[in-house]
A and B are shown apart, each in its own frame.
Chain A
Amino acid sequence: MRIEVNKNILASNASAAGKNRERLRRHGVFMVNLMASPGAGKTSAIIKAIERAPELKMAVIEGDIASEVDSLIIEAMGVTALQINTGGSCHLTALMITSALNYLDLDLLDLIVIENVGNLVCPAEFDLGETARVMIASIAEGDDKPHKYPLMFRQVDLVLLNKIDLLPYCDFDLPRFRQVVTTLNPAAPILELSCKEDSGVARWGEWLTGATAANRAAPAAD
């Protein structure tokens, strides 16, 4: 006997993501899903955001396969950090974020930054209920990454190009990188920065502050 099913395999994640998004909207909280390969500078970019936008009431959700290394660094800066250990899974799912949100007082927050598991493949497929998606590429990874991971580059709202101080030492074709990213995603700005040298990071802080304020203003119309 044949049974017609026609059920979306990612429906359970999509449904949880939708609930997360609605919960955040009710509280006027802006949530960023920060994605990058391992070592591109996700934690460093969060540290710079905390330094450059101290007026934002922020919490951080750290996703890693194992360890509390990152959340301890963020907590040491006086910012609430929740650590999710995926225990081998290569990406965060919407339900993991649902659980994490239970531990936060959303009325006291403007911004949540999720540091996704270091990976350019799977995180692009799983909606977490975020308000915006930001990815970090870094000079040492090479300029061909948009060719190899087009889905990731296609669906983000902002691209941070970190470790720009390494440009003289690497065979990184900056105009080519910019051209390919713009072809894939004409709407996403590309910000060049170096977390290590503390250069270009002011614009990252401004982007976060501006987007958080715009989000805060939006639900009032509802």
Chain B
Amino acid sequence: MHEYSVTENIIAIVQDEATRAGAARVGSINIILGELSTFSGQSIEFYFGELSRGTVAEGALLNFINLPAKAVCLECGSRFEPRHAFYACPDCGSPMFDIKQGQEMFVESIEVD
């Protein structure tokens, strides 16, 4: 059920934009998904099929664009790309870092007819 409310939000955003543009149909939805986000594109697609039915977004193609993770070490200030939550700074080995990018999830753009 994790992605259910997220998919509802995606459809609400798309409906809002499509209505404003006077579009009859949404061809595709481009979603940026941070590398460290725990939301699954596959699950969103699963719920999207059901939840979009009867809306302007019905039948739209979902494109997920991966956004790489970026972090700053709290010890030495080095900038690096953490691959997972247990990553340590490649320069000084400290496990303490601030995640600057990679947890986001947003609707980047839509293609409408």
Interface residue ranges, A against B (CB under 8 Å) = 1-13, 88-91, 93, 121-122, 124-125, 147, 150-151, 154, 183-184, 186
From the candidates A3, A89, A151, A186, name the one contacting B110 in the complex (CB within 8 A): A3
| Least Cβ–Cβ distance between A57 and chain B, in angstroms | 32
From the candidates A4, A11, A150, A183, name the one contacting B109 in the complex (CB within 8 A): A4
- Verify if B112 is at the interface (C-beta below 8 Å from A): yes
* A9-B6, A89-B1, A90-B2 as given contacts; A1 in contact with B21, CB under 8 Å: yes
- Verify if B111 is at the interface (C-beta below 8 Å from A): yes
Q: Is the CB of A122 within 8 A of B95?
A: no
Q: Is the CB of A122 within 8 A of B2?
A: yes
B18: chain A residues at CB < 8 Å are 3
| Least Cβ–Cβ distance between A42 and chain B, in angstroms | 19
The chain A residue with its CB closest to the CB of B88 is A183
Q: Is the CB of A5 within 8 A of B1?
A: no
B4: chain A residues at CB < 8 Å are 89
| Least Cβ–Cβ distance between B101 and chain A, in angstroms | 13
Q: Is the CB of B5 within 8 A of A93?
A: yes
Q: Is the CB of B9 within 8 A of A9?
A: yes
Q: Which 4 A-B pairs have the closest CB atoms?
A: A150-B85, A90-B1, A5-B107, A183-B95
The total of chain B residues at the interface (CB under 8 A) is 32
Q: Is the CB of A5 within 8 A of B85?
A: no
| Least Cβ–Cβ distance between A136 and chain B, in angstroms | 20
Q: Is the CB of B9 within 8 A of A10?
A: yes
Q: Is the CB of A6 within 8 A of B85?
A: no
* A3-B21, A184-B95 as given contacts; A9 in contact with B107, CB under 8 Å: yes
- Verify if B61 is at the interface (C-beta below 8 Å from A): no
B111: chain A residues at CB < 8 Å are 1-3
- Verify if B62 is at the interface (C-beta below 8 Å from A): no
- Verify if B108 is at the interface (C-beta below 8 Å from A): yes
Q: Is the CB of A88 within 8 A of B38?
A: no
- Verify if B23 is at the interface (C-beta below 8 Å from A): yes
B45: chain A residues at CB < 8 Å are none
Q: Is the CB of A122 within 8 A of B1?
A: yes
Q: A4-B109, A151-B85, A184-B85 are in contact. List 5 more A-B contacts (CB 8 A).
A: A5-B106, A90-B1, A121-B38, A150-B85, A183-B95
Q: Is the CB of A1 within 8 A of B13?
A: no
Complex CA gap A151/B82 in Å reads 14
> 28 A-B pairs, CB-CB below 8 angstroms?
A1-B23, A3-B17, A3-B21, A4-B109, A5-B13, A5-B17, A5-B109, A6-B108, A6-B109, A7-B107, A8-B104, A8-B106, A9-B6, A10-B9, A12-B9, A13-B5, A88-B1, A90-B1, A121-B2, A124-B38, A125-B38, A150-B86, A151-B38, A154-B85, A184-B85, A184-B95, A186-B95, A186-B96
